[in-house]
Copies of this chain bind each other. A is one copy, B any other.
Amino acid sequence: MTDAKDQNEAIRQLLAGIKGFRARYYERRPDSMRQLVTEGQHPEVLMIGCSDSRVDPALLTQAEPGELFVVRNVANLVPPYQPDGSYHGTSAAIEYAVKVLKVSHVIVLGHAQCGGIQGLIRLRTGQATDDDFVSPWVSIAGPACDPYIAGTSEEASQGDIDRLQQFPDVVERAAVRASVENLMTFPFVRERVEAGTLSLHGWWFDLETGDLWSIDPQTKIFLPVE
């Protein structure tokens, strides 16, 4: 948080960035953007990433405009299929990507030092939370967390809490696995996966080392890539 002058500075810099984008993509190399405008987007990949400012899907993968259809929410979570008519932003994006854009891949991208997963750990170990939306939202991955604590959240021992806070990455990866599993509860996802036209991927980016881990298709275990 900054004072009024710096506030304007942040906005001014973003506007300068857009000016640079316009110079680059509309004047310097207009071909690809022009094609994206006249022919529409045809991304092959839906990436479901975290809102965390340090793990930007486009920067991380050096993507150009048009390559990635992106959902970003707290803790890169996929809720289960619930077609109840209420507002489901992530599910709507998955539906649009899979049914309208016909992407070939859905990647759930988790990462180290995830604040949302910290919130989940606090929640499931019985620590006090004080929010309207974060706790209900991250509870999507609650069942994924439970195997890593001895009992229920009410009964979590201090040892459980310490261990989880020391090794939150096991929960982060379990949450990615849970989101990939939730993807399979969407009929239009399952159908395409079983038909071989859609692949699901679970990735976890180690913010501290820059290494990427991914779920091995056979063993379902996270392994470092390369």
Q: Residues of A at under 8 Å CB distance from B?
A: 1-2, 4, 6-7, 10-29, 33, 36-37, 40-41, 43-45, 51-56, 58-74, 77, 79, 81-83, 85-97, 99-100, 102-105, 107, 113, 115-116, 131-134, 136-138, 140, 196-197, 199, 201, 205, 207-212, 225-226
Contacts and interface: CB of A to CB of B under 8 A. Distances in A.
Given A86-B136, A210-B21, A92 B73 contact: yes
A132 to B, nearest CB: 4
A22 to B, nearest CB: 4
B105 A11 contact: yes
Contacts of A29: 13
30 contacts: A4-B196, A6-B44, A7-B199, A10-B45, A11-B105, A11-B199, A14-B63, A15-B225, A17-B24, A17-B60, A17-B61, A19-B23, A20-B20, A21-B61, A22-B211, A25-B210, A26-B210, A51-B69, A51-B70, A54-B66, A59-B65, A73-B92, A74-B92, A87-B136, A88-B137, A89-B137, A91-B133, A91-B137, A92-B138, A95-B132
Contact of A58 (B37, B56, B138): B56
A201 B11 contact: yes
B44 A95 contact: no
Nearest to A16: B27
Contacts of A21: 59-62, 210
Contact of A53 (B6, B22, B43): B43
B83 A133 contact: yes
- Majority DSSP secondary structure for residues of A touching B: mixed
A56 B63 contact: yes
Number of this chain's copies in the assembly equals 4
Given A17-B24, A59-B65, A91-B132, 19 more contacts: A1-B44, A7-B199, A10-B45, A14-B107, A15-B225, A17-B61, A18-B62, A20-B28, A23-B23, A53-B65, A53-B66, A70-B72, A73-B89, A73-B90, A87-B140, A91-B133, A92-B133, A95-B134, A100-B115
